[in-house]
Every structure is written in C-alpha cells, then in structure tokens.
Structure 1
Amino acid sequence: MGWLWAIIVGFVLGLLAKAIIPGKQHSPLWLTTIFGIIGAIVGNAIARGIGIDETNGIDWGRHGLQLAAAVVVVFFGDMLYSAARGSRRRA
C-alpha cells in the first residue's frame, strides 16, 4: 500500500509544482508524477536532516519542504526533458 500512496502523493506534488512554476512545462503527466515522487523523497530527507520529520499533528514543515523540492525537481527535470526531446527531434 505504501507504493500507492507514493504515486498519489507524487501525482499531487507534481501537479502543484507545475502550477507554481510560471510558463508551460512540456513533460508528460507520468514523468511529472515521477518528479513529484522524487521531490517527496528529497523533501522527507531534508526534513529528517533538520529534525522536523515527525511532529504532533500535521507535518506542515515536512509537506512544505516536499513541495519546495518538487518545484525544483519538476523545474530542472522539465528542462532536461525538453532539451533531450529537442535534440532528439533535430537528429
């Protein structure tokens, strides 16, 4: 069941990150979901590193770090995807 939650959280984080980033992103939905999953993992690692991974109630700090990491991962991941796709079209 953990993998299902990872996909759902990655999907939501990826879509939120795409909404926050200005302009149009060209990565497909499945790749945005993977970027969101990576962002969640990175955000959790950062939260664990600074000691806010488990708190009483809702972990707003951890969720904020997950979203911030997802924004960064989606931004750079989309740049890499666009560059790879553009170079493949020219060949």
Structure 2
Amino acid sequence: MSFIWMIIVGLVAGLLARAIKPGSDPMGWIMTIVLGIVGAMLGGFIASLIGINADGGFTGLLFSVIGAIILLFLYEMIVNKRRV
C-alpha cells in the first residue's frame, strides 16, 4: 500500500471512529490521521489474531475503524487522568 493511500485510509478510519464513538474528542486533523493509521495497524493485528484476512476492502476498513475506536477510548482515559 502506498504512503498516500495509507494516509487517506487513516483519515477515513479516524473520522469514522470519531463519528461512531460518543463524546467530544478535541484533536485536530493530524491526530485524526495518526489515530486512523495506528488504529488500522491495531485492527489488522486483532484480525490476524482471530484468523481473518483484513488486507483491504470493507473488512480492512472495518477493522481499522474498530482499532481506531479502541485507541480513542484509551486516548480519552489518558487525557482524563491528566486533567484530574
């Protein structure tokens, strides 16, 4: 996968994850892209653990969004601990 395609898929996965997960997450476009890219890696890892091929297409996007949602919950936990 090319670097540009990875950024585009990361942006889409990050935006979908932020739209699906309730609550406000004050992060910009760069953090949303990073969230999507790292979420895609996490989602790919989770898919390989359960034996599903998530290299592309709808399955890849689905697991990318699942990974990004997991990262959003972790990000929220870390940010809330710092504010307290």
- Shorter-chain TM-score bucket reads 0.7 to 0.9
Does the 8 Å CA contact 1:27/1:82 hold for their aligned counterparts? no
Does the 8 Å CA contact 2:47/2:63 hold for their aligned counterparts? yes
Q: How does 1:1-91 map to 2 (within 5 A)?
A: 2-53=2-53, 59-81=57-79
Q: 1:27 to 1:83 in 2, by over 3 A?
A: farther
**What is the CA deviation profile of residues 7-40 of structure 1, one whole-angstrom value per residue up to 9, with x for unaligned ones?**
0011001000110111211111111110110010
* Count of aligned pairs: 84
* Inter-partner Cα distance in structure 1 for 2:28 and 2:60: 26
SS, match of residue 52 in structure 2: coil
* Inter-partner Cα distance in structure 1 for 2:34 and 2:11: 8
Does the 8 Å CA contact 2:6/2:37 hold for their aligned counterparts? yes
* Inter-partner Cα distance in structure 2 for 1:2 and 1:34: 16
For the pair shown, the structure with the greater C-alpha radius of gyration is 1
Aligned-partner residue type, residue 67 of structure 1: V
Does the 8 Å CA contact 1:32/1:74 hold for their aligned counterparts? no
* Inter-partner Cα distance in structure 1 for 2:4 and 2:76: 24
Structure 2 gaps of 5+ residues are none
Identity of aligned residues (%): 35
Give the TM-score of the pair, scaled to structure 2. Answer: 0.76
Structure 1 gaps of 5+ residues are none
RMSD of aligned alpha carbons: 2.5
Structure 1 segments (4+ residues) deviating >6 Å: none
